[in-house]
Amino acid sequence: MVEHRPSLDPAVAETRLAVRSALGGLRPGAVVVGLSGGADSLALAAAVAFEGPKLGMTPVSVTVDHGLQAASAEVAEAAARQAEGLGFDARILRVDVTGDGGPEAAARSARYGALAHAAASADAVAVLVGHTLDDQAETVLLGLARGSGGGSLQGMAPESRLADTPLLRPFLGVRRTVTRAACSAQHLDPWDDPHNDDPRYARVRVRTTVLPVLEAELGPGVAEALARTAEQLREDAAAFAEMIDETIEDIVEHAEAGISVSVAALAANPAALRHRIIRHVVSSEFGGSLSRTQTLEVARLVTDWRGQGPIDLPGCRARRVGGRIEFAAG
pTM: 0.84
pLDDT digits (tens, 9 = 90+) for 303-329: 999 999 999 999 999 999 999 999 998
Mean pLDDT for all residues in the chain: 91
Catalogue all structural domains in the chain, each as residue range(s) with its CATH number. 10-222 (3.40.50.620), 255-329 (3.30.465.60)
280-302 mean pLDDT: 92
105-128 mean pLDDT: 92
pLDDT digits (tens, 9 = 90+) for 15-49: 999 999 999 989 999 999 999 999 999 999 999 99
281-290 mean pLDDT: 90
- Helix, strand and coil in the chain, % to nearest 5: 55, 15, 30
Q: Would you give the distance in Å from CA 310 to the centre of its chain?
A: 35
Residue 148, pLDDT score? 63
Most confident by average pLDDT, 96-100, 161-165, 251-255: 161-165
- Give the confidence band of 97 by pLDDT, cuts at 50, 70, 90: confident
Residue 62, pLDDT score? 97
Q: Which amino acid is at 114?
A: A
Residue 100, pLDDT score? 64
Least confident interval from 85-89, 154-158, 201-205, 251-255: 251-255
Residue 98, pLDDT score? 74
Percent with pLDDT over 70 in the chain:
96
- Give the confidence band of 203 by pLDDT, cuts at 50, 70, 90: very high
User: Going by DSSP bridges, is the β-strand pair 252-254/324-329 parallel, antiparallel, or unpaired?
Assistant: unpaired
Residue 313, pLDDT score? 95
Residue 106, pLDDT score? 82
Identify which of 243, 234, 232 has the alpha carbon closest to the alpha carbon of residue 270.
243
Identify which of 224, 66, 32 has the alpha carbon closest to the alpha carbon of residue 132.
224
Residue 258, pLDDT score? 87
| The CA-based dihedral angle spanning residues 150, 153, 156, 159, taken in that order and rounded to the nearest 10 degrees | -30
Beta bridge partners of 287: none
pLDDT digits (tens, 9 = 90+) for 131-146: 999 999 999 999 888 8
- Give the confidence band of 4 by pLDDT, cuts at 50, 70, 90: low
| The CA-based dihedral angle spanning residues 222, 226, 227, 231, taken in that order and rounded to the nearest 10 degrees | 150
List CB contacts of 180: < 8 A, sequence separation 6 or more: 39, 43, 190
List CB contacts of 222: < 8 A, sequence separation 6 or more: 137, 211, 214, 215
How many CB atoms neighbour CB 35 within 10 A? 30
Residue 74, pLDDT score? 93
Percent with pLDDT over 90 in the chain:
70
- CB of 115 within 8 A of CB of 162? yes
Three-state secondary-structure class, residue 66: coil
pLDDT digits (tens, 9 = 90+) for 231-269: 998 998 888 788 888 888 888 888 777 899 999 999 998
Residue 323, pLDDT score? 93
Identify which of 45, 226, 61, 64 has the alpha carbon closest to the alpha carbon of residue 135.
226
Q: Would you give the distance in Å from CA 19 to the centre of its chain?
A: 17
